């Protein structure tokens, strides 16, 4: 099975075999990125534009590095100094850039569905770098690659996703992906941060960390997304840490070899204890960042192959 899509807008439309295709190709890029020569030619002659309407460190830096390592011409649009600030709409901005013949558009936007809408208006491949609470597909793919490498498989694992589920596109993409790959997914968090309708994804829901973490192979912590909160979702950060922050006492309920993940950026002392985050025997947070470059190289490589095939047809 190859990757059959024109864009990468979410995990939802992907077949499990397509997920495996991306992860297998990413493995080759892990090796390339660790070698003396990090460059290859998969995107030579192509132009990649990164449009981030929301702040980012990991995703933007890794998409830029990924494109450059594959030989693309990469441009980072500075949305803070663009004509968006004069009132130009997302679609008009995209159409303007589309007229410059980019081949790959990488877009992050605060509104769910904005990246899908944009993809309908342009004639290049679009990669969703996170849209509102909807999806963050490359984050879920890099998390999957990290889990597969650390656990030796990506099926029949018990994976606990903990914290602010309601506002998290990372949680949504992960629970879709991990469900497709036949894992047991548990969501743990206060009822105020649990979206309605999660049962349709076939996951188990807990509001008690210790019960939810019992026997888990993977513990995935989430950031409190204060920028998406318009009310009092938690009594206080101190209380939240006491009940839902990952510390050694709570982690002891997971399996002895359970790995600890966090997509970043982290709020130390709010959702995770700093010593757990830095414990190289448990935490794979830095590996997640490394896998991010490789997964984004693989995704852009596959989209570029489809783009070239469509243009040649």
Q: Residue 202 burial by CB count (10 A; 0-12/13-18/19+): exposed, middle or buried? A: exposed
58 binds ligand CP (CB under 6 A): yes
56 binds ligand CP (CB under 6 A): yes
Whichever of 223 and 250 has its CB closer to ligand CP, that residue is 223
Q: What is the DSSP letter of 135?
A: B
Is the separation of the CB atoms in 1 and 125 below 8 Å?
A: no
Cα(146)–Cα(26) distance, integer angstroms: 11
The interface region with ligand CP, picked from 26-34, 51-59, 193-201, 294-302 by CB under 6 A, is 51-59
186 annotated to a ligand binding site: no
110 binds ligand CP (CB under 6 A): no
How does DSSP assign 157-226, residue by residue? -EEEEES--TT-HHHHHHHHHHHHTT-EEEEES-GGGS-TTGGGGT-EEES-HHHHHTT-SEEEE----G
Q: Minimum Å distance from CB 243 to ligand CP?
A: 24
21 binds ligand CP (CB under 6 A): no
Binding mask 156-195 for ligand CP (x = CB under 6 A): ----------------------------------------
Cα(179)–Cα(70) distance, integer angstroms: 31
Q: Minimum Å distance from CB 141 to ligand CP?
A: 12
The interface region with ligand CP, picked from 56-64, 98-106, 149-157, 251-259 by CB under 6 A, is 56-64
The interface region with ligand CP, picked from 27-35, 39-47, 54-62, 174-182 by CB under 6 A, is 54-62
Whichever of 106 and 251 has its CB closer to ligand CP, that residue is 106
285-312 and 137-151 helices cross at what angle (nearest 10)?
Answer: 120
265 annotated to a ligand binding site: yes
How far the first Cα of the chain sits from its last, in Å, is 20
Whichever of 21 and 59 has its CB closer to ligand CP, that residue is 59
Nearest-CA neighbor of 94 among 51, 56, 127?
Answer: 51
The CB-nearest residue to ligand CP is: 59
Which listed residue (21, 47, 48, 59) binds ligand CP by CB under 6 A? 59
Q: Minimum Å distance from CB 138 to ligand CP?
A: 9
146 binds ligand CP (CB under 6 A): no
Query: Per-residue b/e over 33-62, b at no fewer than 16 CB within 10 Å?
Result: beeeeeeeebbeebbbbbbbbbebebbbeb
Nearest-CA neighbor of 110 among 76, 134, 75, 84?
Answer: 134
Whichever of 51 and 307 has its CB closer to ligand CP, that residue is 51
Is the separation of the CB atoms in 132 and 148 below 8 Å?
A: no
Binding mask 245-274 for ligand CP (x = CB under 6 A): ------------------xxx---------
Which residue positions form the known binding site for L-aspartate?
86, 169, 223
Which residues of this protein are in contact with ligand CP, per CB under 6 A? 56-59, 130, 139, 263-265
């Amino acid at each position: 099975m190859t990757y059959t899509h024109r864009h990468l807008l979410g995990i939802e439309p992907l077949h499990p075999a397509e997920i495996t295709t991306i992860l297998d190709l990413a493995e080759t890029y892990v090796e390339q990125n660790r070698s003396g020569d990090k460059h290859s030619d998969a995107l030579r002659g192509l132009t990649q534009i990164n449009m981030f309407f929301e702040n980012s460190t990991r995703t933007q830096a890794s998409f830029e590095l990924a494109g450059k390592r594959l030989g693309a011409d990469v441009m980072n649009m500075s949305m803070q100094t663009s004509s968006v600030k004069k009132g130009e709409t997302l679609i008009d901005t995209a159409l303007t850039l589309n007229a410059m013949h980019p081949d790959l558009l990488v877009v992050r936007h605060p509104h769910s569905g904005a990246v899908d809408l944009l993809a309908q208006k342009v004639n290049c491949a679009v990669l969703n770098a996170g849209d509102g609470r909807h999806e963050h597909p490359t984050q879920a793919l890099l998390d999957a690659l990290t889990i597969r490498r650390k656990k030796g498989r990506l099926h029949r694992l018990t994976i606990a996703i903990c914290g602010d589920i309601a506002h998290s596109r990372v949680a949504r993409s992960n629970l879709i992906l991990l469900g497709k790959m036949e894992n047991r997914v548990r969501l743990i968090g206060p009822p105020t941060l649990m979206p309605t309708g999660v049962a349709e994804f076939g996951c188990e829901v807990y509001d008690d960390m210790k019960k939810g973490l019992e026997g888990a192979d993977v513990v995935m912590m989430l950031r409190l997304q204060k920028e998406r909160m318009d009310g009092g979702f938690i009594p206080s950060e101190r209380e939240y840490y006491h009940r839902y922050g990952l510390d050694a006492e709570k982690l002891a309920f997971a399996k002895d070899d359970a790995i600890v993940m966090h997509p970043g950026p982290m709020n130390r002392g709010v959702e995770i204890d700093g010593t757990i985050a830095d414990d190289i025997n448990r935490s794979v947070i830095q590996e997640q960042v490394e896998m991010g470059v490789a997964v984004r190289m693989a995704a852009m490589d596959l989209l570029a192959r489809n783009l070239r095939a469509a243009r040649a047809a």
